Structure 1
Amino acid sequence: MSKRRINKVAVIGSGIMGSGIACHFANIGLEVLLLDIVPREVNEKEKAKGLTLEDKAVRNRLVNDALTASIKSKPAPLYHSSFAKRITTGNLEDDIAKVSEVDWVIEVVVERLDIKQKVFENLEKHRKPGTLITSNTSGIPIKFMSEGRSEDFQKHFCGTHFFNPPRYLKLFEIIPGPKTSPEVLEFFNGYGEKYLGKTTVVAKDTPAFIGNRIGIFGIQAMFHLVKEMGLTVEEVDKLTGPVIGRPKSATFRTVDVVGLDTLVHVANGIYENVPNDEEHELFKLPDYVEGLMDKQWLGSKSGQGFYKKSKDADGKTEILGLDLDTMEYRPGKKAKFATLELTKTVDNVADRFPILIKGKDKAGEFYQKNFGAMFAYVSKRIPEITDELYKIDDAMKAGFGWQHGPFEIWDAVGLDKGLELIEAAGKTPDAWVTEMKAAGVNSFYTVKDGATYFYDIPQKKHIKIPGQDSFIILDNIRKTTEVFSNSGVSVQDLGDGILNVEFRSKMNSIGGDVLTGINKAIDLAEDKYDGLVIGNQGTNFSVGANIGMIFMMAAEQEYDELNAAVKYFQDTVMRLRYSSIPTVMAPHGMTLGGGCELTLHADRVVAAAESYIGLVEFGVGVIPGGGGSKEMALRASDMFQKGDVELNVLQEHFLTIGMAKVSTSAHEAYDLDILKPGKDIVVVNTARQIATAKAVARQMADMGYTKPAPRNDVKVLGKQALGMFLVGTDSMQDSNYISEHDQKIANKLAYVMAGGDLSEPTLVSEQYLLDLEREAFLSLTGERKTLERLQHMIQKGKPLRN
């Protein structure tokens, strides 16, 4: 069978979801044809221009307006604004014949079966045989959609359900129709994971599939529990947010963002279509939700929902919470529970669950009831919605941003404890769970030889989760492959001669223990291995240097110790660059300050597409002191070409630091000269990132890696550049764009990046620039206003402008 390749995709329907899907296909480099209907009439603006329904601008108005709105929306659907040119727009009358040129047609029109069937009938007239065709429905049965279509159509047809927003949410559900060929399913399973960067889950054709069936159950259960227990919206959001590894928006804020109408539509669909579900009545909307729908208080889109932004008497924005009894807004209430206090020192979320369910307060009672009901419900959804329990966990993690799925949480509290919670909640588990326990199996998952195994119900034993061979899961290998660890890092042998340094500090911040770990890993790699990766699988790669430590030293005026600490950081990044083995960095998520400085000094970078990289030290009143200021001067020097306006190139690099620019994707990091085209690569699926970084390190070693020669040829522009920068910061301060202290920091950075006040352009060494950088950094830590900024960031978690 010839290999199927996707080069061009047609997306039918340009609403929020359709445009978002089109943008994500453009993100991965495909040509996209986005089509929608022709407007019924000319609008006022078009009439004024003398346009008629025959004009292309009018005929394509709906699709063009929708795509433009999507591209402008936040968070951005594109990795880079230039990727928009990969999308061509058109309409379903003039351009439908173009679907004959594509490899995959994805339908994203309104959720009505009659309309979808009509669209498929039209598409079949132009679709060439063998072309994949899918529907992004969130609940209409797949079996009904392809009725009456040709055999070739039905063989290549299935549901492919993206979650919104398609760029950011990882779940990609694949729902086979009655005649979908196994080859098509297998193709989508691999394509979603490898190319789209998704967690692909094959679901059965049941109402709301897997993610929404379990997710909406969870939200509806919460809706009813909140009234039963007399909880506030703020209390529920406190209990269901980061403390249990869920997004900050938790429950009610998430509903506001997604839109209550969207949630109600799916919940009603489940209620109508699962009459035999033992929790059928739970999908009925509580009175207060009906009340919100009646008032059209749908959340962010209508300006108010469970929360409402308001201005107080002083004009300051405040967030009001909805009182569910009176249905009136009141000032936000801070939620506090003794049980949550007990978990403050427990960094690993899985270790918090046993503590939370033992709570003697309202929080403990909430978790007991909540988890008991959830455990019972998911046990009974097998084999109805899926045959394999891990697919439920995958769907909840990828579609709803949970760190742990229901069966993983059950494992964390223990099988017996979970059964107790089910009984206390007045529920019963499915028979297979008690049979599993009777057979002496006491966990749903186990780890063997670096792979995760799940309990397979028909086989009554643990079997390996498929598709793990292209991943390296650090949690699974840490115990058996660790060659060094301290409080900040774990160094593992990834096999094939490559080591990995995994940060294990709080928020992966970089302090002395992390730097010691990196140096130890380089020692080990140079002695007995062939290459080194620095990568972890935390929420973020690193939020930067440990500013608490810097603040303490600066406040105590321990400048010798601070000087030594900064020099140690600089020496470590230089060792990364000049060690005798290849070094590969694997950043993802927030990669800020010191995390960015480490990234700048590796031989190669394998960045996750969702990497937010930048030098943000200005926010805490200093300049980058771990080689970042030096490196931006060096990178500017490398870009100076004959005829270039060198000052302009240097100024761009200066502003990257001075404006604390952070890329909103790895692709934008190329624009900031943080990543290098042709050298550094971007991967869409973070699950593959460590394995890819390892392969890059191995390849470099196999090609005969030689460490680079030290640089003594960095061109600095001296007084010529310094003068320009000082004039610029002066005028910005005069115009009140920056404060006096901002100006002081900017002038220190200017001095470093200009190479000091040299009388003419000069070639200098990296060490010369590092010494200037360190001196400037230390002098700024002696400033009261810098100490205020550091303290504010430590206490409030956001920058102070003073």
Structure 2
Amino acid sequence: MSKRRINKVAVIGSGIMGSGIACHFANIGVEVLLLDIVPRELNDAEKKKGLTLEDKVVRNRIVNEDLQKAIKSNPAPLYHKDFAKRISTGNLEDDISKVKTADWIIEVVVERLDIKKQVFENLDKHRTPGTLITSNTSGIPIKFMSEGRSEDFQKHFCGTHFFNPPRYLKLFEIIPGPKTSTEVLDFLNGYGEKFLGKTSVVAKDTPAFIGNRIGIFGIQSLFHQVKEMGLTIEEVDKLTGPVIGRPKSATFRTVDVVGLDTLVHVAKGIYDNVPDDEEHGIFQIPGFIDTMMEKKWLGSKSGQGFYKKVKNDDGSSEILSLDLDSLEYRKSKKASFGTLEKTKSVDKVTDRFPILIKGEDKAGEFYRKNFGAMFAYVSKRIPEITDELYKIDDAMKAGFGWDNGPFEIWDAVGVKKGIELIKDLGKEPAAWVNEMLEAGVDSFYTIKDGNTYYYDIPQKKHVKVPGQDSFIILDNIRKTSEVFRNSGVVVEDLGDGILNVEFISKMNSVGGDVLAGINKAIDMAEKDYDGLVIANNGKNFSVGANIGMIFMMAVEQEYEELNAAVKYFQDTSMRIRYSSIPVVVAPHGMTLGGGCEFTLHADRVVAAAESYIGLVEFGVGVIPGGGGSKEMAMRASDSFKKDDVELNRLQDYFLTIGMAKVSTSAYEAYDTGILQKGKDIVIVNEARQIAAAKAVARFMADQGYTKPIPRTDVKVLGKQALGMFLVGTDQMVAGNYISEHDKKIANKLAYVMAGGDLSEASYVSEQYLLDLEREAFLSLTGERKTLERLQHMIQKGKPLRN
């Protein structure tokens, strides 16, 4: 069997979903052909230009407009705007024959079976035999779509359901048709995970597949529950958000973003197609939703849904909430519950569930009902929608952004307790759950040798979840591989001579304990191991230095202690660079300030594509003080070429810090000079990141890693650069672009990056620049306006412009 490779994909249908899928394939380096229909009539602009329906620009108008709208949308569907060049466009009449060169054709047209069948009939005439052909349907049975198609078509045809937006949501459902070959399913399962960075889940051909069947059940039961329990939409969003490991947008804000019409369409599809579902009535649309649909209150796309943004007379804007009884908008009310207060000090989400269901207020009642109904429902969907319970959990985590799937939550409250919650609602769990307990198994999951095992119903025992071999999940290995811990880090032995430092501080912020932990890990690695990885499985790599600690020292004017703390931070960054073992840093999510400075000093970086990296210290009134300012000056120096305008190069690096630029993906971090081409690598599937970082550290050790020699050859431009920067900041103040305090911070940074006011360009050491950086940082912490910025960030979580 020859190896299947995907070099070119054809996407048929350029709407929000089609363009999003096209962009994500472009993200991973695949050539994309995006096709849509030819317009039936000219628009006003075309008429004015005297164009006809035969002109190419008119014929491709729909596809080109859709793609441009997608590229400009927020959040961005592309990792880097240049990746759009990988997409070519066309229409289904002139360009359909081009699909013969595609390795995979993905249909993303309107959700109507008759239209889909027509498209497939057309594609079948032009595709090359053996080419993959899939549909991104969210609910039409796959078996109906391939009826009457050629044998080769049916063998290579299945559903591949991406979730919107395709770049960000990880779920990739693969739904076999009656004749899909196992080779195709295995290939797509592996490709989705390895290349597209997805959680691939092979589902059965049942209405709404796995993710939407369970997810829509959850939302619809909330719609019914909210009226029954007399809850407000703010209360439901408070109860179903981060406190239980769900996205900040919780329930109603999420529906506003997705669009109420989309949700209703899927719910109706389920209602019509699962008459025997024991919870059939839940999928019926409640009256208040029908009214919202009639009024076209569909959410963000129509300007109002469950929430509505309005402008007040004074120009300020305000978010109003929908009162579900009167169906009128009113001022938002803050929601609070005693039960939630009890979980405030509990960091681990799974440890909160047992507390939440014991609550004696409305919140406790809500969770008991909500979880009980969900547990009963998911237990009865096996084997209807899938044979393996872990696939339901994977689908909810990857498609709906839940930290824990239903069976993981059930494990957290205890299987027996979960059955009690079900029975309290007058329901019963599926028979297999009681049989599992009778067989002496009291949990759906267990961890053994660093791997997750799930309860396999036919075998009546725990079986290893497949596909984990390329992952390192720190939660799974910590118990057996921990070699050191303090309040800020855990150091784990990853095997093969490589250690890992995992941050465990709040939001992975960097304080003295984290710095001590990194130094301890380097000591251990230098003595007994071959390399070190700095990585974690948190939501974000690190939000930067613990600014509360800096603020307290600065307010109390403990400048000696502050100087020592900043020096310790700088020395730790330098230790990452100048240890005798390779150090690989693996950033993901927010990697800000100090987290970015560690990244800058790594021997190699293995970044997740979804990494938002930047030096953001200007926002709190200081400059990067952990080696970041020095490093950007050094990288500017290393980029100087013969006959170059060196000042321009230096200015680019200066602006990266001065504008607090944060990349919207790891690929953008190459542009800001934070990641280095040819040295640092980007990985699309975050789940593979730690294993990849370990492999890079191992490879470097095997090649004979030697400790680098500290630099003394950094070219700084002195007064010439300083003069240019000072003139620039004066002009920025004069034009009202920045405040006087911004100017003060920018001038301090300019002094560091110019290497001081040296009379001519000179070569200096890294230590010389670090001393300038530390001095500038400390002088800024003595400024009242910097203290105001620090305090504002601590209290409000956002920067103050003063």
TM-score, reference length from structure 2: 1.00
Give the 3-state SS of the residue equivalent to 1:117 in structure 2: helix
SS in structure 2 of the partner of residue 606 of structure 1: strand
Counterpart of 1:655 in structure 2 is 655
C-alpha distance in 1 between matches for 2:478 and 2:197: 24
**By how many angstroms is 1:315 displaced?**
1.9
SS of equivalent to 1:2: coil
1:519 counterpart letter in structure 2: N
**What's the counterpart of residue 238 of structure 2?**
238
Tell me, yes or no, if structure 1 residue 797 matches structure 2 residue 797.
yes
| Shift, 1:751, TM fit | 0.5
- The whole-number CA distance in structure 2 between the counterparts of 1:236 and 1:582 is 49
Gapped regions of structure 2 (runs ≥ 5): none
Q: Cα distance, 1:314 vs. partner? A: 2.1
1:219: which partner in 2?
219
Structure 1 residue identity aligned to 2:98: K
Q: Secondary structure at the match of 1:125?
A: helix
Shift of 1:123: 0.2
Structure 1 residue 736, shift from structure 2 partner: 1.1
Q: Equivalent residue for 1:772?
A: 772
Cα distance in 2 between the residues matched to 1:731 and 1:646: 21
In the alignment, is residue 571 of structure 1 matched against residue 556 of structure 2?
no
1: CA distance between counterparts of 2:37 and 2:187?
30
Match of 2:691 in 1: 691
Equivalent position of 1:37 in the other structure: 37
**Counterpart residue identity of residue 450, structure 1:** G
Residues 490-539 of structure 1, C-alpha deviations (whole Å, 9 max, x = no match): 00000010000000110000000000010000000000100000000000
Q: Distance in 1 between matches of 2:112 and 2:338?
A: 48
Counterpart in 2 of 1:208?
A: 208
- CA–CA distance in structure 1, aligned partners of residues 554 and 416 of structure 2: 52
- In the alignment, what sits opposite 1:601? 601
Per the alignment, residue 308 of structure 1 pairs with 308
* Letter in structure 1 aligned against 2:474: L
Aligned position for 1:93: 93
**TM-aligned CA deviation for residue 312 of structure 1:** 2.4
Provide the residue aligned with 2:283 in structure 1: 283
Other structure's SS at 1:674 match: coil
- What residue in structure 2 maps to residue 298 of structure 1? 298
Q: Which residue of 1 is the match for residue 456 of structure 2?
A: 456
Q: CA deviation at 1:313?
A: 3.3
User: Which residue matches 1:251?
Assistant: 251
Aligned counterparts, 1:24-173, within 5 A: 24-173=24-173
Question: Are 2:448 and 1:444 aligned?
Answer: no
Aligned residue runs from structure 1 range 466-545, under 5 A: 466-545=466-545
Cα offset, 1:397, TM superposition: 0.1
- The letter for the 1-side match of 2:39 is P
Q: Aligned to 1:689, what secondary structure does the other structure show? A: helix
Following superposition, the deviation at residue 50 of structure 1 comes to 1.4
Taking the aligned partners of 1:698 and 1:117, their CA distance within structure 2 comes to 51
Q: Which amino acid aligns with 1:661?
A: K
- For 1:107 and 1:438, locate their aligned partners in 2 and report how far apart those are by CA, in whole Å: 47
- Which residue does 1:186 correspond to in 2? 186
Show the counterpart of 2:667: 667
Give deviations 1:356-390, integer Å, cap 9, x for gaps.
11110111110000000000000000000000000
Question: Could you tell me how far apart the structure 1 residues matched to 2:795 and 2:372 are?
Answer: 37
Residue by residue over 1:710-768, the C-alpha shift from the partner in whole angstroms, topping out at 9 and shown as x without a partner, is: 10000010110111111111111111111111111011101000101000001000000
Match of residue 591 from structure 2: 591
The DSSP-based 3-state class of the residue aligned with 1:613 is: strand
Please give the per-residue CA displacement for 1:70-108, whole angstroms capped at 9, x wherever unaligned. Answer: 000000000000000000000000000001001000000
Amino acid at match of 1:276: D
Deviations 1:178-219 (A, max 9, x none): 000000000000000000000000000000000000000000
Match of 2:409 in 1: 409
What amino acid does structure 1 have at the position aligned with 2:480? T
Instruction: Specify the code of the residue in structure 2 equivalent to 1:619.
Output: G
Amino acid in structure 1 at the alignment position of 2:88? T
Residue matched to 1:364 = 364
Query: Deviations along 1:568-611, whole A, 9 cap, x unmatched?
Result: 00000000000000010000000000000000000000000000
Write the letter of the residue equivalent to 2:233. V
Q: CA RMSD in A?
A: 0.5
Q: Any gaps of 5 or more consecutive residues in structure 1?
A: none
Q: Once the 2 structures are TM-superposed, how far is the Cα of residue 424 of structure 1 from its aligned partner?
A: 1.2
Q: SS of 1:352's equivalent?
A: helix
Q: Which residue of 1 aligns with 2:324?
A: 324
Deviations 1:636-664 (A, max 9, x none): 00001111110000011011000000000
Q: Residue deviations 1:255-303, cap 9 Å, x none?
A: 0000000000000000000000000000011111111001000000000
- Partner SS, residue 34 of structure 1: strand
Matched, 1:429 2:429: yes
CA distance in 2, matches of 1:282, 1:86: 44
C-alpha separation between the residues in 2 aligned to 1:647 and 1:346? 51
Percent identity of paired positions between Structure 1 and Structure 2: 83
Distance 1:313 1:369 in 2: 43
Question: Residue in 1 aligned with 2:755?
Answer: 755
Q: Deviations over 1:140-196 (max 9, x none)?
A: 000000000011000000000000000000000000000000000000000000000
Q: Deviation at 1:439? A: 1.4
C-alpha distance in 2, partners of 1:566/1:317?
Answer: 41
Q: Give, in whole Å, the separation in 2 of the partners of 1:545 and 1:420.
A: 45
For 2:16 and 2:199, locate their aligned partners in 1 and report how far apart those are by CA, in whole Å. Answer: 21
CA distance in 2, matches of 1:339, 1:796: 24
Q: What secondary structure is seen at the aligned counterpart in 2 of 1:314?
A: coil
Aligned-pair distance for 1:425? 1.8
Is 2:625 aligned against 1:625? Answer: yes
Q: Distance in 1 between matches of 2:783 and 2:220?
A: 53
| Residue type at the aligned position of 1:653 | Y
Separation of aligned partners in 2, 1:167 and 1:426: 41
Residue type of the partner of 1:611? S
Partner of 1:703: 703
Q: Distance in 2 between matches of 1:343 and 1:656?
A: 39
The C-alpha deviation readout for 1:406-427, integer Å capped at 9, x for no partner, is 0000000111111111111221
Aligned equivalents of 1:295, 1:656: Cα separation in 2: 47
> What's the CA shift string for 1:392-412, capped at 9, x where partnerless?
000000000000000000000
Distance across 1 between alignment mates of 2:285 and 2:801: 46
Looking at structure 2, the residues matched to 424 and 645 of structure 1 have their Cα atoms a distance apart, in angstroms, of 75
* Structure 1 counterpart of 2:525, one-letter code: A
Tell me which residue corresponds to 2:17: 17
C-alpha distance in structure 1 between counterparts of 2:202 and 2:333, whole Å: 42
Q: How far, CA to CA, are the matches of 1:520 and 1:314 in structure 2? A: 56
For residues 302 and 450 of structure 1, the distance between their equivalents in structure 2, rounded to whole angstroms, comes to: 48
- Measure how far apart 1:129 and its partner are: 0.5
1:43 shift after superposition: 1.3
CA distance in 2, matches of 1:158, 1:379: 26
2:292 partner letter:
L
| Aligned residue pairs, count | 802
Q: Deviations over 1:22-69 (max 9, x none)?
A: 000000000000000000011111111111111100000000000000
The TM-score, its normalising length taken from structure 1, stands at 1.00
Please give the alpha-carbon distance, in whole angstroms, between the structure 1 residues aligned to 2:609 and 2:427. Answer: 43
**Distance in 1 of aligned mates of 2:365 and 2:63:** 50
Q: How far apart are 1:697 and its partner, in Å? A: 0.3
